[in-house]
Amino acid sequence: MDETSLAFCPGHISGWFKKTGSENSFSGSIGGGIVISEGVFSEAIKADETVINVCRIDRTGNLISCDVGSPPIEYALLKLGISAQITTKTILPVGAGFGLSAASLLSSIKAVNELYSLDICDEEIAQIAYETEIKFKSGLGDVSACTGGGYICRKSPGMAGEIIRRYDMDKTISAISFGPLATDKILKDKYIMEKISSAYNEICPDTPEDFFKASREFAERSGLVSERVREVLNECSLREIPASMTMLGEGVFAYGEKAPAILSKFGEVYLMKMSDSGFSFRNRRE
């Protein structure tokens, strides 16, 4: 029987962000987001060659589809000097602003760490994932966000950056996605990144409602809101439902019990909560 190991990491919805470092460097970001209860399960099996199966499942765990290949995870395993067959599973769409590249890296590295008894501490796992995200420009702040739970305000970049975490976001979070946005292409677009930088507001909100307000104002100023996202945001505003655009994906996330009925008019609704903890359960809310 092949040995297997399984790990989970929550996803992260960025509400606003600003790249830090010089124009051509990608040292990380500051910003705000929500660590979410949905994320990525990674199952690792010992194998002589690395194969990554990227799978979507439905709410009951049934397989919907799988694609083969994940360059960031393949790179991370190469760095660790090991090979494995990894299957990642999530109900959320890839590339749609749910921080799944970070979640899949963290859960996959954690799974192979256990599979091969590599004895790598959680901080080092996070550092490897973070450096891989920066190398592939698949994310800037999601890894540091996912090392803990809550809704967050990242005041300085990097794995040692200052993060304010709050945990009183108790209502349901709903999300829909019209499709992915290529994170790497956006991060490399100087014009878009200048607009995002000028849209950034340093204030850290201290209530869920203020969080969604800050995120919505950022989205409007960023120039990233598409017609389809705008239509959903307008419907939510009419009903005083806190809502904003998922960064970076063409989608909407909204807060409270009234949101699912409104979002369901526009597409499949993904229901989730704020996660109390990150990929390392040592970071669970005290």
**Residues binding ligand PAF (CB under 6 A):** 14, 17, 29, 31, 33, 99, 139-142, 183, 247-248
The DSSP call for residue 89 is E
Adjacent-strand bridge partners of 85: 45, 51
Adjacent-strand bridge partners of 179: 250
**Minimum gap (Å) between residue 211 Cβ and ligand PAF:** 14
**CB of 219 or CB of 248, closer to ligand PAF:** 248
Adjacent-strand bridge partners of 54: 67, 88
Name the residue type at position 162.
Answer: E
**CB of 70 or CB of 244, closer to ligand ATP:** 70
Residue 11's alpha-carbon distances to 15, 163, 200, 207, in angstroms, are 13, 17, 22, 21
Answer whether 122's CB lies under 8 Å from 280's CB: yes
Partner whose binding site includes residue 174, from ligand PAF, ligand ATP, none (CB under 5 to 8 Å by kind): none
Restricting to residues 72-91, name those near ligand ATP by CB under 6 A: 72-73, 88, 90
- Residue 127 CB neighbours (<10 A): 16
Answer whether 245's CB lies under 8 Å from 252's CB: yes
**Minimum gap (Å) between residue 44 Cβ and ligand PAF:** 24
Give the span between the Cα atoms of 178 and 100, in whole angstroms: 16
Partner whose binding site includes residue 98, from ligand PAF, ligand ATP, none (CB under 5 to 8 Å by kind): ligand ATP
Span near ligand ATP by CB under 6 A; candidates 99-107, 118-126, 222-230, 267-275: 99-107
Partner whose binding site includes residue 29, from ligand ATP, ligand PAF, none (CB under 5 to 8 Å by kind): ligand PAF
Name the residue type at position 216.
Answer: R
**Minimum gap (Å) between residue 248 Cβ and ligand PAF:** 5
Structure tokens at 209: 């409602």
Choose which of 3, 71, 209, 257 interacts with ligand ATP (CB under 6 A): 71
Q: Is 94 in the site for ligand ATP (CB under 6 A)?
A: yes
**Minimum gap (Å) between residue 88 Cβ and ligand PAF:** 17
Residue whose entry in the numeric block shows the structure tokens 């490399």: 188
Q: What letters, b where the CB count within 10 A reaches 16 and e where it falls short, cover 186-210?
A: ebeeeebeeebeebbeeebbeebee
Binding mask of the shown chain, residues 136 to 175, with x at each position contacting ligand ATP by CB under 6 A? --xx------------------------------------
